[in-house]
Structure 1
Amino acid sequence: MSHIDKINTNSWFVIANSTSGNGDFSKQWKEIQQYLKHKKIDYSFAFTKFSKHEVDLVQNAIKKGFRNIISVGGDGTLHNVVHGIMLQRYVKTSELTIGVIPLGTGNDWIKTYNIPNHIEKSMEIIFRKNTILQDIGVLKTADNNLTYFNNVAGLGYDGYIVNKLKTLKKFGAISYLLAGIYGLLFYKKSIFKIIFDNKVIETNCLMTIIGICKFSGGGMQFTENVKPNDGLLDITVAKNLTFLDLVFNLPKLYSGKITHHKKVATYKTKKIAIIPQNSKTFIQADGELVGTGAITAEIVEKAINFIIN
């Protein structure tokens, strides 16, 4: 009898990022284990040991026969789990289910689905198993590297902020605001050439956002009328927005009304190419830096089951 046969379809593989949780990880992990034991849940687990380790861990779990994955950590952990699932060739991605126990500062993906940033409450949601078959985006950089993303990607100012965040993370939730202010003062806009659906837009651009879900940058909403399973990328082109434009419109960044600003345009499409004049323009996906320069982005429709509230 192979190892695959032994794994019950109700078994869970838990991938935990032990560096998340603001230094309280061991306490939080104990709480997670107690809950799993109390509910008599059959599970195996692994801790990440290095950057992007989730990719290997999830692929090995799928190879062994696991079909239910729990991501324990922030947006970066979930991003790497999704990326690993999309790269593997053992099973159709739509046969896999991901639940999220949020730890850490950045949890933007959970906000779209009203999943509370609370261990026990998020675990109760997981075991109710209410799922959505969500679309996934895929970015291809100029050097043909693929990055899959489940939330929001972007080029320009937001990529610059993600790059800056690496040094500011120690400040916790306020780090987003600090990085944002720094970016407004020092980020230099570039001309972007944006091509989709036989349209070509050339404009001086602060950033171009590509969304699957609603929230990024610590709760900001840059996209409009978002449906995570409509088979479309939600594009927002923030043109020549200035420091003062953003300061005066700060509440609109959080309410989503920024999309109505006269210097902001929104579109929906299945595929887009974005070519910045400055080849050093940063690219981010789900808050992770993935490179610089030009990209194409496409939608992979109804790709993975996610457990939602």
Structure 2
Amino acid sequence: MHTIPDEGTWFLVLNPAAGGGRGKKLLPEIESALNEAQIKYSLHLTTEPGEAIWAVQEAIAAGLRNIIAAGGDGTFHEVANGILTQSIVDPSALTLALIPAGTGNDWPRTWQIPSDIKGAVRVLSEGHTCLQSAGLIQYHLNGLPCTRWFVNVAGCGFDAAVAAAANKAKENGRSGYLTYVFQLVQTLFRYKEVASHLQINQQSILVDLFAVLAGIGKYAGNGMMLVPEANPASNQFSITLVKKIPRLKVVRNLPKLFNGRFTTMREVSILQGSKLAINAGRNLLLQADGESLGEAPVTFEIFPARIKLVVPRPNQPPK
């Protein structure tokens, strides 16, 4: 554990559209809590996808070293990529705090960062930080090679298909937990397994792939514990591999997705590795931190101690 140095103003990136407009509604409460805690900040409101990446890069170039991300998992993903893709300072020299204001808020859930504004700001004001790993993805979009970082959970297969459907619904003005569940169930009966070749470190696996997830954090998909053995401070991904599975079996076990007990099913394997490569016979979609990116072939590689995150005090879970 470390303590945040007193380096002045925080750069607050807030997505007003997070959580179907929840970010905008929470802005007065966020500002009030920060002012009450006597935390100095400059505010940047995002207006379009991808904006948080370059906004953070510009803030770092201007000398700011402490960043607050207020929004949902998409906002957290972009802010983290802004930190990890700049080359002015080592990413681990920057401090990132999260204020959950979206629908899923899956990354802060692993760290037990409070979901209420006052609780999240209290964690920020207490100033305890921890270094966590980040994952680098090399993938393809329209046949062209691309790269992206992730800080929570990334995967290929069914989860990516659900993310694509949910993100499309969001573009059409439909978001929230119920929308996500609807897209999950609808996608479940449309999705077809993809013959895939997985390489986990030196282990080679041929599989009719339902889903594979590389986890730094435990949660994805609006509170589902899809990678229950993940440890964000580890130098290894925890990998959840799901082979071809009857759809009704998935439906019967849906409640177990929220407590991680689905891993007892024979179609599910829990593996570990610092590198995961996936090749598929046809298009296999990819998501990272809930964001739809592209398709296989894809490679995930973990980089330990890459992000310095403000977290609750050790051995004292938030009230």
Q: Name whichever of 245-254 and 169-178 sits farther off.
A: 169-178
Q: Name whichever of 282-291 and 13-22 sits farther off.
A: 13-22
Shift of 1:193: 0.3
Shift of 1:90: 0.3
- Tell me the distance in 2 between the aligned counterparts of 1:96 and 1:226: 24
- Tell me the distance in 2 between the aligned counterparts of 1:152 and 1:210: 6
Q: 82, 85, 89: which is aligned to 2:83? A: 85
Instruction: Give the match for residue 3 of structure 1.
Output: none
Shift of 1:240: 0.7
CA contact (8 A) 2:127 2:310 kept: yes
Amino acid at match of 1:190: V
Shift of 1:46: 0.8
- Tell me the distance in 1 between the aligned counterparts of 2:227 and 2:24: 36
Instruction: Give the match for residue 303 of structure 1.
Output: 306
- Tell me the distance in 2 between the aligned counterparts of 1:30 and 1:218: 25
CA contact (8 A) 2:275 2:299 kept: yes
Shift of 1:183: 1.1
Instruction: Give the match for residue 133 of structure 2.
Output: 135
Name the CA shift for 1:24/1:198 in 2 (closer, same or farther; >3 Å).
Answer: closer
Instruction: Give the match for residue 144 of structure 1.
Output: 145
Q: Does 1:216 align with 2:220?
A: yes
CA contact (8 A) 2:153 2:214 kept: yes
Q: How does 1:171-186 map to 2 (within 5 A)?
A: 171-186=175-190
Instruction: Give the match for residue 287 of structure 1.
Output: 290
Shift of 1:197: 2.4
Q: How does 1:44-123 map to 2 (within 5 A)?
A: 44-123=42-121
Shift of 1:187: 0.7
Shift of 1:9: 0.8
CA contact (8 A) 1:21 1:28 kept: no
Q: Name whichever of 218-227 and 16-25 sits farther off.
A: 16-25
Alignment gaps of 5+ in structure 2: 1-5, 313-319
- Tell me the distance in 2 between the aligned counterparts of 1:129 and 1:44: 18
Q: Does 1:251 align with 2:292?
A: no
Q: Does 1:241 align with 2:245?
A: yes
Q: Tell me which stretches of 4 or more aligned residues in structure 1 moved more than 3 Å.
A: 24-27
DSSP-derived class of the 2:176 partner: helix
CA contact (8 A) 1:67 1:97 kept: yes
Instruction: Give the match for residue 317 of structure 2.
Output: none
- Tell me the distance in 2 between the aligned counterparts of 1:302 and 1:65: 22
Name the CA shift for 1:24/1:211 in 2 (closer, same or farther; >3 Å).
Answer: closer
DSSP-derived class of the 1:65 partner: coil
Amino acid at match of 2:211: M
Shift of 1:221: 1.6
DSSP-derived class of the 1:290 partner: strand
Instruction: Give the match for residue 159 of structure 1.
Output: 160
Q: 261, 275, 296: which is aligned to 1:271? A: 275
- Tell me the distance in 2 between the aligned counterparts of 1:244 and 1:37: 51
Q: 39, 42, 46: which is aligned to 1:41? A: 39
Deviation readout 1:119-155 (Å, 9 max, x if unpaired): 1111111111121100001110143311100100000
Question: Cα RMSD (Å) of the superposition?
Answer: 1.4
- The number of equivalent residue pairs is 301
Instruction: Give the match for residue 4 of structure 1.
Output: none
- Tell me the distance in 1 between the aligned counterparts of 2:295 and 2:30: 38
CA contact (8 A) 2:17 2:24 kept: no
Deviation readout 1:18-38 (Å, 9 max, x if unpaired): 112433444421122222222
DSSP-derived class of the 1:293 partner: strand
Amino acid at match of 2:306: A
Shift of 1:65: 1.1
Instruction: Give the match for residue 19 of structure 1.
Output: 17
DSSP-derived class of the 1:193 partner: strand
- Tell me the distance in 2 between the aligned counterparts of 1:227 and 1:191: 29
CA contact (8 A) 1:101 1:122 kept: yes
